[in-house]
Homo-oligomer: A and B are copies of this chain.
């Protein structure tokens, strides 16, 4: 079979993604993207950054090690993940 050639990055509308499968993929990619971006920002400019992402009201993903963030994240008793 001929492999399907990628058409590369596509322009998307700035609205909630409708297809659940696409949304989940984009969620994973952009969560990593956000944390990587924050990490670079932190290194380049010597700033402390705390990020909390609330997904579906269940999952919590955190970035940074600020005491307040830890407090908040812990208070949710949810699984923590990071990039």
Contacts and interface: CB of A to CB of B under 8 A. Distances in A.
Contacts of A33: 37, 41
A83 interface: no
A26 to B, nearest CB: 6
A77 interface: no
Chain A, interface size: which category? 20 to 34
A14 B44 contact: yes
Contact of A17 (B31, B44, B50): B44
Contacts of A30: 37, 40-41, 44-45
Contact of A37 (B34, B47, B49, B69): B34
A2 interface: no
A69 B69 CA distance: 9
Contact of A72 (B23, B43, B46, B68): B68
